[in-house]
Copies of this chain bind each other. A is one copy, B any other.
Amino acid sequence: MPTLSDVAKEANVSKMTVSRVINHPNQVTPELRKIVLEAMHRLNYHPNSAASALASNRTNVVKFVILEDIDTTEPYYMNLLFGIAQGLQKQQFALQLVRDAADVDKGNCDGYIITGARATDSDWLDKLKKPFVLFGENRYGYDFIDTDNKLGDQLATQYAIDRNYQSIIFMGIDEKEPFEYSREAGYINTLQKYKKIPRIFRVANHSRKAQDFITNNWKKFAPDTCFICASDRIAVGVVRAIQEKGGKIPKDFGVIGFDGVFLDQVSNPKLTTIKQPIFELGQSLATMILQKVAQNGAAQGELLMPPELIKRESTR
């Protein structure tokens, strides 16, 4: 396998020039750059990431910290992880999984991707010595990437309106988290455009809880109603309750979920849902932390990625 020196000889330049072409291309004249690039191509040169890591005092390792108790039967994290892995791979970075906050400091790394951070985590987040980006909205100024939750339920609500459901109800998650507020905001905003009055209920994020809630309050829900749900889990529960009560889906009752990762497809009827671009979120997380590392921890801001409305059988 050819090295930097080989390329330098081939191109009749110094190693330094080759290195610059790789890391600081604009510090070298276009002509030279071209010559070097051609030499690299001819020799099928690939940088040795270990050597580069050593020389620049990096580890080429990014830690993926999962703070929440995850359900490994949920393919959500799988997709995220695949996206992250693929994103890191482009720059030959290693991935380490950390599932316990206590392990965060064990072993070196160049940066962190953190998911499941809550308000109370800011204590130790502020003490981290390496750059990090969060997966999931936060209101503390930390760099983050998330689905555009507000847009998601704008799409959902708009669709419910377009399908002429007379009453449109939001079934939220009973947690004071930014993503929930954003989803509710998307619902409220859109309803207001049409001068409709929002009706919001909140339950724990379990299908059973949602099902029980709907069943116990069945008389509140007249036919011609669409439920905008903050998760597919809740949507599944709502569907079951409606079926149990003999309601007709999608004719008399519409149900729209959120996530689009698994439950939407196994539900019967298949759920209309807001599908999060999870794999892409993972890729972007990787890209962002790599960039932040390259820029010595410079702030990267926030990135909201647009979800997609998937039309299926739970809406008319």
Q: Which residues of A contact B (CB under 8 A)?
A: 1, 46, 48-51, 53-54, 58-61, 72-75, 77-79, 81-82, 85-86, 89, 92-97, 107-108, 261-262, 265
Contact = CB atoms under 8 A, between A and B. Distances in A.
A262 B262 CA distance: 12
Q: Which of A72, A79, A107 has the most CB of B within 10 A?
A: A72
A227 to B, nearest CB: 22
A50 B58 contact: yes
Given A50-B54, A51-B54, A108-B1, A85 B75 contact: no
17 contacts: A1-B108, A50-B59, A60-B94, A61-B94, A72-B78, A72-B79, A72-B82, A73-B262, A73-B265, A74-B75, A75-B75, A81-B81, A82-B97, A92-B107, A94-B94, A94-B95, A95-B95
Contacts of A96: 85, 89
A294 B239 CA distance: 55
Contacts of A75: 72-75, 78
Contacts of A95: 85, 94-95
Nearest to A59: B50
How many identical subunits does the complex contain? 2
A265 B266 CA distance: 14
Contacts of A58: 50
Given A78-B72, A78-B75, A97-B82, A54 B60 contact: no
Contacts of A108: 1, 46
Nearest to A48: B54
A61 B107 CA distance: 17
A93 B1 CA distance: 21
Nearest to A66: B82
Given A46-B108, A54-B54, A61-B94, 12 more contacts: A50-B53, A51-B54, A61-B92, A72-B75, A72-B78, A72-B79, A73-B75, A73-B262, A73-B265, A85-B95, A92-B107, A94-B94
Contacts of A107: 46, 89, 92
A36 to B, nearest CB: 20
A262 B74 CA distance: 9
Contacts of A48: 54, 59
Q: Which of A75, A94, A107 has the most CB of B within 10 A?
A: A94
Nearest to A76: B78
A86 to B, nearest CB: 6
A51 B58 CA distance: 10
A208 to B, nearest CB: 13
Given A94-B95, A262-B73, A50 B46 contact: no
A51 B96 CA distance: 19
Contacts of A73: 75, 261-262, 265
Contacts of A51: 50, 54
Nearest to A64: B85
